[in-house]
Amino acid sequence: MVTTHSRMALYSEWASAAPAKRSILENMRTTVDIGTLIERSPEIRKGRPCIAGTGVTVRRIAGWHNMGLAPEEIAAKMEHLTLAQIHAALAYYHANRDEIDCDIAAEDAAVEEVFPARA
């Protein structure tokens, strides 16, 4: 149970903290509903699942994952994304693997049709 005294102590710590520590303390109080991290909209990326507010498709993150990149490496490539967003995309991919893999295969087939591989 949070008492008035502990609230005052927390506020006092926050107020006297350096800006970097203050930011950490603020983030500790923020809770993210992971269900809000992935969204679909018919007008964005043809309705493919994307990381909310970014237009980055789950398919893109899954592709890098399938090439052997770790979530941290993907986040380093896409600096505007958080590690939580990368993990949300990967969780969506693993929960809906058939859907995403079929989408990847369909695109690969379309590319092969336009640019056939040389024998």
Lowest-confidence region among 31-35, 67-71, 109-113: 31-35
**How many domains, in total, are found in the chain?**
2
With contact defined as beta carbons under 8 Å apart, do 50 and 57 qualify?
Answer: yes
With contact defined as beta carbons under 8 Å apart, do 38 and 52 qualify?
Answer: yes
Per-residue pLDDT band for 40 (boundaries 50, 70, 90) equals very high
Q: Rounded to the nearest 5 degrees, what angle is found at the Cα of 3, between the Cα atoms of 28 and 25?
A: 15
User: What pLDDT is stored for residue 22 in this prediction?
Assistant: 54
DSSP assigned state of 38: E
Do 11 and 68 belong to one domain?
no
* Domain presence at residue 119: no
Tokens standing for residue 86: 């990368």
104 pLDDT above the threshold of 50: yes
* Domain presence at residue 68: yes
18 pLDDT above the threshold of 80: no
DSSP assigned state of 18: -
The answer to whether the pTM exceeds 0.75 is no
Domain that includes residue 10, residue range: 1-30
Alpha carbon 38 to its chain centroid, in Å, reads: 7
Do 23 and 49 belong to one domain?
no
